[in-house]
């Protein structure tokens, strides 16, 4: 029997191009759902996903998100049919890229972590999304590429400067300039993927849920602030500068809070902590 839909203190966004589900307590699963179009994301879908990830951050009972795709693709990038119409006919219907990037993820900072469960093709914008996700799991059949140069475009949703931090200059150049695909194991060796999961698409999502549950069992305050600390380095702050920024900022807001007190008390009493929803 599938998990029941929990009660939220905020209203979930309405979605047309993705499906929202809740496979475990405190976990949001977002399934991109345009399988006939390889889950390409159009401008309306971009706007929709921005709202979804903002809701993840705003809803106190949610602690982590997962994104995956329906069918044989994770996401094959932007809807080039929409692009073609916009270029050919100067259509006003195509909206500019949101500030948080493609799919609301490729330039997202956010507050709570997002795991990518890559079930298949992750091309163009789809690959840009996973480059900025916090953890990436991949099915053995997954493929990753930035093929924009083959279409007279460039990867402009935030991936290029982020990619070099993950895989190094030479490998980033190879991906960006050739547009070639990496298989899941090569992406794992390069550092784009945390883990390759044997099995079908359902298996990689199950593994993502397992990992999300392990994260959600930790203090929600500690998860938010620990993620922020890692991102300070990701965004270019030096080790000491980043540490001081964290101490003077988010640490001061969580220090002495309910979850910190509960974590220490539970350790002393040799029991499992009973966390409250984060107020950060």
255 shares a domain with 133: no
Among residues 48, 59, 82, 148, the one annotated as catalytic is 148
Q: Between the CA of residue 253 and those of 179, 246, 249, 266, 278, what are the distances in Å?
A: 44, 10, 7, 21, 11
Residue 29: strand pairing partners = 21, 66
Tokens 């305050």, residue located = 221
Among residues 73, 76, 78, 159, the one annotated as catalytic is 78
Per-residue model confidence (pLDDT) at position 108: 97
Question: For 206-214, what is the mean pLDDT?
Answer: 98
Q: Are 211 and 24 in contact (CB under 8 A)?
A: no
Q: Is there a catalytic annotation at residue 78?
A: yes
71 shares a domain with 166: yes
Residue 280 lies in a domain: no
* Residue span of the structural domain in which 229 resides: 220-268
Q: Is there a catalytic annotation at residue 125?
A: yes
Q: In the Cβ-directed half-sphere of 250, how many Cα atoms lie within 13 Å?
A: 20
Return the CATH number at 61: 3.90.226.10
Residue 1 lies in a domain: no
37-53 tens-digit pLDDT: 999 999 999 999 999 99
Among residues 126, 128, 212, 242, the one annotated as catalytic is 128
Among residues 104, 120, 125, 229, the one annotated as catalytic is 125
257 shares a domain with 203: no
pTM score of the predicted model? 0.93
Per-residue model confidence (pLDDT) at position 89: 47
Q: Is there a catalytic annotation at residue 128?
A: yes
53-109 tens-digit pLDDT: 999 999 999 999 999 999 999 999 988 777 665 554 455 555 678 899 999 999 999
């Amino acid at each position: 029997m599938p998990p029941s839909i929990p009660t939220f203190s905020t209203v979930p966004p309405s979605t047309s191009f993705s499906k929202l589900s809740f496979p475990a307590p405190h976990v949001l699963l977002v399934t991109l759902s345009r399988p006939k179009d390889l889950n390409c994301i159009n401008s309306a879908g971009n706007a929709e996903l921005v709202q979804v990830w903002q809701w993840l951050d705003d809803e106190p009972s949610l602690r982590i998100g997962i994104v995956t795709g329906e069918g044989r693709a994770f996401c094959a990038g932007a809807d080039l049919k929409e692009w073609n119409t916009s270029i050919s006919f100067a259509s006003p219907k195509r909206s500019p890229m949101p500030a948080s990037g493609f799919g609301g993820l490729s330039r997202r900072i956010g507050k709570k972590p997002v795991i990518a469960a890559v079930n298949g093709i992750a091309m163009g914008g789809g690959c840009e999304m996973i480059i900025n996700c916090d953890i990436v799991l991949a099915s053995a059949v997954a493929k990753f590429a930035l093929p924009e140069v083959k279409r007279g475009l460039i990867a402009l949703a935030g991936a290029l400067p982020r990619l070099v931090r993950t895989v190094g200059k030479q490998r980033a150049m190879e991906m960006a300039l050739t547009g070639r695909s990496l298989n899941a194991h090569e992406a794992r060796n390069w550092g784009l993927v945390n883990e390759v999961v044997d099995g079908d698409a359902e298996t990689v999502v199950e593994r993502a849920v397992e990992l999300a549950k392990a994260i959600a069992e930790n203090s929600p305050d500690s998860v938010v602030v620990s993620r922020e600390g890692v991102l300070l380095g990701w965004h270019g702050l030096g080790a000491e500068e980043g540490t001081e920024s964290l101490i003077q900022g988010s640490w001061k807001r969580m220090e002495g809070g309910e979850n910190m007190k509960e974590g220490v008390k539970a350790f002393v009493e040799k029991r499992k902590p009973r966390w409250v929803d984060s107020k950060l």
